[in-house]
A = this chain, B = another copy of it.
Amino acid sequence: MEQLKERIRREGKVLPGNIIKIDGFLNHRVDMKLLSDIADEFAKHFDISKVTMILTAEASGIALASMCAYKYGVPMIFAKKAKSDNIESGLIQSEIFSYTYKKRVTLLVSQEWLGPDERVLIIDDFMANGMAVGGLVDIVKKAGAELVGIGIAVEKGFQGGGDKFRAMEDIPYKALAVIEKADQNGIIFREEND
């Protein structure tokens, strides 16, 4: 998606340790018009008419998932992140390692909101190693629901998370901007056939 790549080139900052900061339009200060265009772009890659709900993980995925849900006319459900191991009843859980928190985190979705009849599109703003999205896929499987696809706005291609999902041929996966390399010389995107 050229518009997204252009924003990343223009406004993204590369910090030491391959950290790419694009919080001025995607993560912290959020440009909703851009998110609306991203939602329209996802609609070209997935069979939206099949989708009954959008699933994401708190917190930064919520804005984009909300916009997708609004445009597609379906509810948005977000998995909560619990830092404790408290087991409550009625919850579908998946334990992941969070690089943000540097510890194990449990993703939680109430069984009440994700049953076996749902056809789920997973949406997230950012993918690095794919741990969070992996947890969401696990939750969809545990619920016995159908996974329609995985849509990611920005993928750090060099961290391998996206390629893991591309290798799963039964799950449509689409990242709209795949960063192949990022350093002080700039940001290089992976060439793709859309």
Give the complex CA separation of A31 and B113 in angstroms: 12
Contact B32 A70 (CB under 8 A): yes
Q: How many copies, total?
A: 2
The answer to whether the Cβ of A77 comes within 8 Å of any Cβ in the partner chain is yes
**B63–A24 touching, CB < 8 Å:** no
Q: Is A78 an interface residue (CB 8 A)?
A: yes
Interface string of A86-116 (1 = CB under 8 A from B): 0000000000000000000000011011000
A29 touches B62 (CB 8 A): no
With beta carbons under 8 angstroms apart, the residue of B59, B66, B80, B110 that contacts A67 is B66
Is A28 a contact partner of B69 (Cβ separation < 8 A)?
no
Contact B58 A76 (CB under 8 A): no
By the criterion CB–CB under 8 Å, are B59 and A76 in contact? no
Contacts of A75 in B (CB 8 A): 29-32
Q: Using an 8 Å CB-CB cutoff, how does the interface string of A28-49 with B read, 1 for contact, 0 for none? A: 1111110110000000000000
Q: Are B110 and A76 in contact (CB under 8 A)?
A: no
* A residues adjacent to B (C-beta < 8 A): 23-24, 28-33, 35-36, 53, 58-59, 62-63, 66-67, 69-70, 73, 75-78, 80, 109-110, 112-113
21 A-B pairs whose Cβ atoms sit less than 8 Å apart in the complex: A23-B110, A23-B113, A24-B112, A28-B78, A29-B75, A29-B112, A29-B113, A30-B76, A30-B77, A32-B69, A32-B70, A33-B70, A35-B70, A36-B70, A58-B58, A58-B59, A62-B62, A62-B63, A63-B63, A63-B66, A66-B67
